[in-house]
Amino acid sequence: MTEPHFPAGTASEEPIPAWVANMKTRPRTGVGIAIALLRRAYRAATRLAVLAFWVAVAWSWWVADGTAAGAGRWITSIAAVFVVPVMCFTWVDPPATLCMLRRRRGRLRSRLRQHWARLETIAPSMPLAIIVSEDPYFFRHIGFDPIAILRAHRYNRGAARQGRMLRGGSTISQQLAKNMFLPFTQSYVRKMVEAVFTALIEGLWSKRRILEIYLNVVEFGDDVYGVESAARQFFQSSAAALTAEQAALLAAALRRPQIYRVDAPPPFMRQLQGDILRRMAWCGEGTLSQLEDR
């Protein structure tokens, strides 16, 4: 991917935060090597677990007999609900998500606007804007960011009392698991199911595949799904021609896509766009090159 262009003065003279160094390609330090090895070990362990699962399926259905075999068939059948969809979408592009279908329920005249775009055909500014806005440690974690979760929990305790908007601590992988596979509303059960899907997504998909699917299924406006559809709807352009400013505005809309309007952004949305542009300018160099290794 080529590096995105940023307008002059985007980065301003504000000091660059320490977290920016963790987003860029690390030199071969001990920490960097340890992170890479842990992620590879996790992916290898996940694939071995999936292979063991299919062996268990074959054994329980075609070899074993008796009560234990019957219980095994039920267990493996339930597990297949998690494993099979994630495995299929490793190679097949999802035509829709459960989030899309849930939003359409009761709106018979609504029409889903979605056009699939390969990651290599999307302007580099767009994935960069998504990463710096939604998940700065996307290349470092294996689906969960404990620090972001704790910060969101601490912030939300005070925000709830003061009537402010709550802040999420979900990673891109968690948001993708929720949008694609979970039709039911917020609950502890949903969070547990979400964690299972997130672990499978991180173990079976590459970071490149995770980002590509996310960019194509996330909602940027009312019934506008995917960056290609958003570019056509709001800018009469294509995902390949998005500028840094347009990408940052689309990323800002993700916070509340039914309320934050890309075609008529309020002042606070413009402020958020400026913040995302600063982050993009800080982190642009070398950040997206990490997709080639994952």
pLDDT tens per residue across all 294 residues of the chain: 444 454 444 444 567 776 676 666 555 566 667 777 888 899 899 999 989 888 888 887 777 676 666 777 787 788 888 899 999 999 999 988 887 877 766 555 556 667 899 999 999 999 999 999 999 888 888 888 777 667 766 665 655 455 555 556 689 999 999 989 886 666 778 888 899 999 999 999 999 999 999 999 999 988 889 999 999 999 999 999 999 999 999 999 998 887 888 988 989 899 999 999 999 988 875 678 777 655
Single out the residue of 192, 260, 273 nearest to residue 221, CA to CA.
260
Single out the residue of 135, 147, 115, 90 nearest to residue 224, CA to CA.
115
Token output for 91: 């190679």
pLDDT score, position 156: 58
Entry pTM: 0.84
pLDDT score, position 2: 43
Token output for 181: 């596979």
| Cβ contacts of 80 within 8 Å, gap of 6 or more | 57
The 3-class SS string of the chain reads CCCCCCCCCCCCCCCCCCCHHHHCCCCCCHHHHHHHHHHHHHHHHHHHHHHHHHHHHHHHHHCCCCHHHHHHHHHHHHHHHHHHHHHHCCCCCCCCCHHHHHHHCCCCCCCCEECCCCHHHCCCHHHHHHHHHHCCCCCCCCCCCHHHHHHHHHHHHHHHHHCCCCCCCCCHHHHHHHHHHCCCCCCHHHHHHHHHHHHHHHHHCCHHHHHHHHHHHCEEECCEECHHHHHHHHHCCCHHHCCHHHHHHHHHHCCCCCCCCCCCCCHHHHHHHHHHHHHHHHHHHHHHHHHHHC
Token output for 239: 């995902």
Gap between the Cα atoms of 54 and 80, Å rounded? 9
Domain ranges of the chain: 26-88, 89-293
| Cβ contacts of 39 within 8 Å, gap of 6 or more | 142, 294
Domain 89-293: CATH superfamily is: Biosynthetic peptidoglycan transglycosylase-like (1.10.3810.10)
pLDDT score, position 3: 44
Point out which residues pair with 219 in neighbouring strands.
Answer: 225
What is the chain's Cα-based Rg?
Answer: 21
Gap between the Cα atoms of 194 and 141, Å rounded? 16
Single out the residue of 54, 218, 202 nearest to residue 134, CA to CA.
218
pLDDT score, position 152: 63
pLDDT score, position 218: 92
Single out the residue of 139, 80, 109 nearest to residue 289, CA to CA.
139
pLDDT score, position 188: 76
CA dihedral (223, 208, 283, 123) positive or negative: negative
pLDDT score, position 199: 93
Gap between the Cα atoms of 190 and 267, Å rounded? 35
Token output for 198: 């997130």
